[in-house]
Copies of this chain bind each other. A is one copy, B any other.
Amino acid sequence: MAHDIRIVTEAALRELVPLDLIAVDVVERGFAALSTGRAIMPPVLSMELPEIEAEVDAKTAVLPGFDSFALKVSTGFFQNAALGLPSLGGLMVVISARTGQVEAVLLDNGYLTDLRTAAAGAVAARHLAPAVEVAGVLGTGLQARAQILAAHLVRPFGRVLVWGRDAAKAKACAAEIGESLGIEARAEVDRARLVAESQLVVTTTASREPLVQADWLHPGLHITAMGSDMEAKIEIEPAALARADLYVADRVSQCAERGELRSAITAGLMPAEDHAELGAIVTGELPGRTAPDQVTIFDSTGTGAQDTAIALHALALAQNAGVGTVIKA
């Protein structure tokens, strides 16, 4: 029994689905839906190919209020640079939550993942960050830029500091951010100073050593740590999580396995359970920031709920615009 399946390419998705407040709101609704008892999000399928420094993940979530769901396949092949190819890739399959029929294949090569990850940072900033004059970012890659652009949508700060292991890359990243936002942005070689000057810090590295020390926490600081998404990665000293006034996970069970929370549990500094999830803060079930001088930390590992939310948004835009190749299958 053939039915229509819409195939949409990365190029089309980049045109159709910008990083804007609508995308942030869409991802926020995904977090809210995930926090209800009726959401179903299984553990990530994760395949490591250590011989070639590669990994393949699959994530999915069925959410109340969403008629369809995404199953996302994401690839990271870290020797691709030598071949002149991007390291990250993958696609999202959109499936009816009522019949299981495949409705669309979004050949996004990771674009929608970049988008929903940045949008999640903005959702966290919206509910957790204080007023922000200076935003700092650790890392100089695509997410460093995307996180800052997304956060600026909800906290229109006037200055940006960029730290990277490679000073030239940090400079280039700062220049790009400054131009995109029309604000002052500069590289900062001293991570401690970057944190001291910022009210919002986003960490976007693949570090396996803590880059932010617990001693650097100061009143009125929010940190979004999005780099750690697998065992062995860590960006924030575990003691910082315990010392913060509010630690928030995107999904506690996932953060305990692959987020910053993992190291803090191992160090005996945090329990494995009973932490706030961003969705419960979005819905008002739990409080977010309640005072300007609090220290808050958001641990972002990336959830299937974000994938479902952004994929359905992208598909709706593609359908409305009549974009994509429709195949009877």
Contact = CB atoms under 8 A, between A and B. Distances in A.
A107 B56 contact: no
B100 A76 contact: yes
Contact of A80 (B86, B97, B100): B100
A36 interface: no
A271 to B, nearest CB: 26
A49 interface: yes
Stoichiometry, copies per complex: 2
A41 B46 CA distance: 10
A73 B86 contact: no
A327 interface: yes
A256 B26 CA distance: 40
Given A325-B325, A325-B327, A89 B101 contact: yes
A54 B75 CA distance: 27
A50 to B, nearest CB: 9
A93 B91 contact: yes
Nearest to A80: B99
Interface string A1-38: 11001010111000000000000000000000000000
A267 interface: no
Given A58-B58, A327-B325, A75 B47 contact: no
A105 interface: yes
Contact of A77 (B80, B99, B109): B99
A291 interface: no
29 contacts: A1-B84, A1-B85, A1-B86, A2-B10, A2-B11, A5-B107, A7-B7, A7-B105, A7-B325, A40-B48, A42-B45, A45-B45, A45-B58, A49-B97, A52-B98, A58-B58, A75-B100, A77-B99, A80-B99, A80-B100, A83-B99, A85-B99, A90-B100, A90-B102, A91-B93, A91-B105, A93-B93, A107-B329, A325-B327
